[in-house]
Chains A and B, each alone.
Chain A
Amino acid sequence: MKNIVQGAIANGQKALSEYDSKRVIAMAGVPVSRNALARSRDEAVAFARDFGYPVVLKGCSDILTHKTEMGMVKLKLKNDDEVAAAYDEITGKGITLDGVLVQEWIEGDKREFVVGLTRDPQFGPCVMFGLGGIFTEALKDVSFRVAPLSTLDAEEMIDEIRTKKLLGEFRGSPAVDRDGLVKALVAIGNLGVEYDEIAEIDINPLIIDGSRPVAVDALVILRRETAADEKSA
């Protein structure tokens, strides 16, 4: 994990690619969707077959933002041909990529949460939890705790959101694995405490698959000043 973060800083990166972001949070203990970085069309198809259809393809690079708006995300691809076509389209936009991320498609049950890390100038790393998906910033149903989090802190921040009912049994879906969620929140807090180089983290959405929370998108932002220091040194 240290290698990924420090390697990126040595490269002068401001953020980790989605692939590396997910690797980092997974190593910390947050469950993420299965994904692999394909560097050729055949490799993409092979990964997709291995995961089983449908799959998602995303252009992967540390400088890519607004992936969806740039047509860099292809959802729910159902067969080899669709994967091959999507690979060509993503790589054909003339943008330098690390590769194309092949990711298992998680249907989920529409319950989407957000987990994040931010740094407060007074209190240091803070963990956020709340309602995820496209309405996150409109509804702002989120709670914060300063890291490191005890499991009690994590439980209390989960119970603090207005939409906490979504965590129980909901429209035929089982209750969310609370322990898993608590562990994820504690883990993200610990990342903030252990890695000064990490400025912020967005995990959105964290989809509920059955009862299990799974991160399907993640972004780790690195400290700019640290990156600059490394460069000049």
Chain B
Amino acid sequence: MKNLTALFYPESIAVVGATENTLKWGSYILTNILDGGYRGKVHPVTVRGDTVYGRKAYRTLRDIEGAVDLVFITTPADTVMEVMRDCAAKHIANVVLITSGFSETGEKGEALEENVNAFAREHHIRVVGPNTMGIVNTASSLYATGSHVRPRKGGISIITQSGNVGNQIMEWAEQESIGIGKFVGSGNEGVLSCEDYLEYLADDEDTSVVLMYIEGVDNGRRFREIAEYTTRKKPVIALKAGRTAVGSKAAQSHTGAMAGSHKTYESVLKQSGVILAHTPTELLTISSAFDSMPLPKGKRVGVVTLGGGWGVITADECEERGLELPPLPRDVYERLDALLPPFWSRGNPVDLVGQPDIDLFFAATDAMVASDAFDAVILLGMAGSGKFVTRIFEARQRLGFAKEKEIDEFKKIFADRQSKFLDNIVDLMEKYRKPVYPVALISSPGDEIVHGKKGSAYSVILYSSPEEAVFCLDKQYEYSRYLRKRSVGYEEHCAGSDSKRPESAFRI
């Protein structure tokens, strides 16, 4: 295994090709590192000028006093070999090769890249790229991609074979306040491959979920082994691009004709316990669910809804995905019956028949989450209901029947109530180790989506629709089931696979 710690946690960095020319990669990377709050040493390297962005600049890497842990190279492809030789001379072991114009451009670039790769391997230099977007490690405030995106610190680490796809996911994460750990754009994978990054992240304590965008891997068997190893430790969510590409292999059999590389990839991923996503947005949605909540131990879902329709939609979504809505156990039934009007649903989903009563929200949530009858609970329309009422007050104000001050007071009361309601959900998830998925009655752009509570490892995600909540629950259950099946007698399962074959039915 390649140790990538110094790559992600460098104490000193040099940027070769550093420049103040705004629209050059040597500027993107350097400004991003400096502006992102990285606390180690940063050395610009350039043949032009004595300073770059106020920092002392060096003509070459060799001129820098003291050790350099990590070098970003942004100079043109034909200059890279020389910079690599400087790296070797200075015993620099980690390079992020931003430069493009290598194997992705044809034969000449391929030859150039092979020289760089061979040199790097010979001198034990770990190279990210070439043709990469860069890397991020929020734990060391290292934002070193071409894009100045600043997601908050968190546990989701991204390995992407497309810089743009990965970057867009980080943008969404920033907007939705979803925490990101590390990011690596693997580029052409000349030296380090996505298998290497996955292997490193499997044991990285700052990473709780691995998110992957894959177009193809070079060593299928190794990838499978590492993926299987990683999923025993933490969830891996992957999108394999190229669903519609037809397998290029000329197959002779019907089996071969139906296989195709995409189908095989998806099978390998499933077999290794990797959870599949079909779009980049799904990648982030699923990853954040895994990052925020405990895993459901089974498929029994309890649903509480503020109104009937959402309950039916949620029940349908669960049923279609093979999740179950068991009936209410007696103790929960009696507890709710004492609190609700006589015309309540008396079953699961529990319909609160529109009662806007915060105490009831708490009581129903507590009763359902505490019950052993359920492995996960979906709460529909209680979160976000304050906003519903606020809008009525806003209308009253426009009609001249309410004062602005009054509305501000209400807003504060509702915000406070919502915060307490969500804090309580965090506490319940801690106490009962089961996931709770609240769906907001109303959510608007800018609203809180991930609600954390100080001192808790879990946080609440406010889902915008029942189908999104069920979708995430289903993915979490899929992973939980994979783990459970494998931890119970998995070794025996494997061992038994090629022994005891059934008696032959063939006779001559």
Give the B-binding residues of A (Cβ under 8 A).
Answer: 22-23, 26-29, 31-32, 34, 36, 114, 116-124, 126, 128, 130, 136-137, 140, 142-146, 148-153, 156-157, 160, 180, 183-184, 186-187, 190, 199-202, 204, 214, 219, 221
Contacts and interface: CB of A to CB of B under 8 A. Distances in A.
Given A26-B505, A152-B485, 10 more contacts: A26-B506, A29-B502, A31-B506, A34-B506, A121-B249, A126-B264, A136-B254, A150-B497, A180-B502, A199-B252
Given A22-B506, A180-B502, A202-B253, A140 B258 contact: yes
B504 A186 contact: no
B221 to A, nearest CB: 7
Interface of B: 216-217, 219-221, 224, 249, 251-259, 261, 263-265, 267-268, 270-271, 485-486, 490, 493-494, 496-498, 501-502, 504-508
Closest 10 CB pairs of A and B: A116-B255, A122-B220, A26-B506, A29-B501, A31-B505, A200-B253, A144-B267, A123-B220, A120-B264, A118-B256
Contacts of B501: 28-29, 183, 187
A74 B251 CA distance: 28
Given A128-B258, A128-B259, A186-B498, A146 B267 contact: yes
5 contacts: A126-B267, A140-B258, A143-B267, A187-B501, A214-B505
A160 B486 CA distance: 18
Contacts of A22: 506
Contact of B270 (A114, A118, A150, A156): A156
A198 to B, nearest CB: 11
A26 B496 CA distance: 19
Nearest to A123: B220
Most buried by B among A128, A137, A140: A128
A180 B264 CA distance: 24
B506 A32 contact: yes
A146 B251 contact: no
Contacts of A151: 493, 496-497
Nearest to A28: B501
Nearest to A29: B501
Contacts of B506: 22-23, 26-27, 31-32, 34
B505 A142 contact: no
B10 to A, nearest CB: 33
Contact of A146 (B224, B256, B508): B224
Contacts of B271: 145-146, 153, 156
A221 B253 CA distance: 8
B264 A123 contact: yes
Contact of A186 (B224, B257, B258, B497): B497
A90 B255 CA distance: 28
Given A116-B255, A126-B259, A128-B259, A190 B498 contact: yes
Nearest to B220: A122
Nearest to B253: A200
Contacts of B490: 150, 152
B254 A137 contact: yes
A27 B508 CA distance: 12
Given A114-B254, A136-B254, A124 B502 contact: no
A152 B268 contact: no
B259 A219 contact: no
A149 B497 contact: yes
A74 to B, nearest CB: 21
Contacts of B257: 137
A148 B494 CA distance: 9
A148 B217 CA distance: 20
A126 B253 CA distance: 13
A57 to B, nearest CB: 17
Nearest to B504: A26
Contacts of B267: 126, 143-146, 157
A123 B221 contact: yes
Contact of A118 (B255, B265, B505, B508): B255
A116 B259 CA distance: 10
B502 A120 contact: no
A226 B217 CA distance: 26
Nearest to A142: B258
B498 A128 contact: no
A31 B15 CA distance: 65
Contact of A128 (B217, B255, B265): B255
Contacts of A160: 270
Given A151-B493, A183-B501, A116 B221 contact: no
B498 A122 contact: no
A152 B255 CA distance: 21
A200 B264 contact: no
Most buried by A among B497, B505, B508: B497
B492 to A, nearest CB: 9
B50 to A, nearest CB: 51
Given A124-B220, A200-B256, A201-B253, A144 B498 contact: no
Contacts of A117: 255
A228 to B, nearest CB: 15
Nearest to A124: B221
B331 to A, nearest CB: 34
A152 B264 contact: no
Contacts of B220: 120-124
A231 B502 CA distance: 36
Contacts of B270: 156, 160
A120 B501 CA distance: 25
Nearest to A37: B508
A122 B264 contact: yes
B494 A150 contact: yes
Contacts of B217: 122
Contacts of B268: 123, 146
Contact of A204 (B252, B254, B264, B497): B254
A187 to B, nearest CB: 6
A143 B270 CA distance: 11
Nearest to A193: B498
